[in-house]
Structure formats: structure tokens, C-alpha cells
Amino acid sequence: MQGLALIIRWEKDQDYYLVYVHQDMFGDWLVTRAWGLTGTQYGGLKHTLVGSPEEAAVLVDDVRHIQESRGFRKVLEARQANEIPTDLRDTMQGEIPFQPKS
């Protein structure tokens, strides 16, 4: 399953919460969570090492439940960064797994 990724983004007003499930260069599975205020550098980042894609799915489901209970709505679910619509990708510059604006 090397190369498989999952990117999910929730939004509420100007706040966002992003989850990125991926493997690192050693083949370990990571769930990266980024959150903050869209268009600013305010926010946080957390990486969680998980044992398998199934364990990642459980963590992502927990995150989904929490975000939806806080009034966030899912605006994106993609397997690859190139599946993200250009207008949304432009607003996500600087968020994981994207490069900062140049």
C-alpha cells in the first residue's frame, strides 16, 4: 500500500481541520493533523504514528466524529493532492501536505 494517501478537510467559518494519512520514507504509517485559521499562520500540527492503515482509519473516524460534533463540515476527501480542486488547493497553501506559498 506504499504511496496510498488520504487527505480530509473540515471547515467551520474561517477555521479548518485537516487530516493526512500517509506512509513515511521508512514505510511507517502516520496520521498528520493540522488545524488553524484559514489564510493565517495560526494553528497547530500533530503527527501520530499508527501500526496499520486500519488503525489510521479508526483514528480518522474519531476525528470525524469530534469535528462534526463541533459543527465542522467535511469539504474535501481525496486520495492524492492532484484530486483537490484548484480553488480549494489555493486556500490550503501552507497546510500539510502542501508547500508554503512562494
Q: What is the CATH number of the domain that holds 24?
A: 3.10.450
Looking at the domain assignment, is residue 13 inside a domain? yes
Q: What is the pLDDT of residue 4?
A: 58
Q: How many domains does the chain have?
A: 1
Task: Please tell me whether residue 57 adopts helix, strand or coil conformation.
Answer: helix
CB 18 within 8 A of CB 45: no
Looking at the domain assignment, is residue 100 inside a domain? no
Q: What is the pLDDT of residue 79?
A: 84
Looking at the domain assignment, is residue 96 inside a domain? no
| Structural domain containing residue 84 | 6-91
Looking at the domain assignment, is residue 98 inside a domain? no
Residue 96: pLDDT band (50, 70, 90) is low
